[in-house]
Amino acid sequence: MTSQHKNDEPEVESEEKEQGEEIEVDEEQLPSGAAAIHEQIRQEGEKELERDSIALLWSAIAAGLSMGASLMAKGIFQVHLGDIPGGFLLENLGYTFGFIIVIMARQQLFTENTVTAVLPIMHKPSGSNFLLLLRLWGMVLLGNLIGTGLVALAFAHMPIFDDATRLAFTHISEKVMENSPAEMFAKAIIAGWIIATMVWMSPSAGAARILVIILMTWLVALGDLAHIVVGSVEVCYLVFTGALPWQAFIWPFAIPTLAGNIIGGTFIFALISHAQIRNDMSAEQKAQAKAKQKKQAQQGEKAQKNQRK
């Protein structure tokens, strides 16, 4: 029964598992520091791909709820800062709150944890690995959208905020919908790229990780870029207050934004990052193979000499 249950669990295909080994993450054993970061993220990606679907869904719902903190903080800052100098900078600092909660609590956020899952696929692009990636993306995105919908519904209809804060929520959310589909798509590519960069920096950030999260997500806010999860809170708020038809959530918002985030964060960043490491690893593997052949040749020559004696 135990072995059957184990076989039912999702498992990523990799060269290390075929050889009964673990992914090497020691920088001294790898050709470069970048390769060590790559392997750490790939190892984390394998763990995410192998997680239970229901666990992924609940974690993603929690992340969607947590991202409501970004809209809440921005709205409160906007009300209380007013027109003071530098108010724009401080108001957009509120955008980082949701990301801090989600990432530090290790919740599943589309464009953050899902970037790590791409590296195992690039390392071994098998059909079963692609299915695991699609399963992860689907469960995380579904959970995030459920969570953002629930928190937007609460903000819209529960007696939590005063009229001034509600009006600020509306102004912030309407600004998102001022973008055309092409602008949504282009801005989402850059946002995806920045979030992926943040993920790449995290393993070497150490105690400064929270600062990296703040700076990178603050940049997304300052650039008025598009993010599928944060934007879902804002657009759903307009839908639930009756300021926007629900169809507008799908188009012009969700489809262009989701496509841009995936292209910018997953494909462009991960492809480029993997390409440089693949060349490093290939050179290292060739050197190791050459050294192994040389050692075997020396051992063969030594054996022949012993036989002659």
Across residues 109-115, what is the average pLDDT? Answer: 83
Across residues 101-128, what is the average pLDDT? Answer: 89
pLDDT value, residue 2:
39
Q: What is 169-223 written as a DSSP string?
A: HHHHHHHHTTS-HHHHHHHHHHHHHHHHHHHHHHHHHGGGHHHHHHHHHHHHHHT
CA distance 26 to 28: 5
- The pLDDT tens digits for 11-32 are 898 877 877 778 777 766 777 7
Which position has the higher pLDDT, 256 or 299? 256
pLDDT value, residue 1:
41
Across residues 230-243, what is the average pLDDT? Answer: 98
- Domains of the chain in start order, with CATH, are 34-281 (1.20.1080.10)
Across residues 107-130, what is the average pLDDT? Answer: 88
SS3 state at 7? helix
pLDDT value, residue 295:
59
Closest among 196, 269, 268, 261 to 230, alpha carbons compared? 261
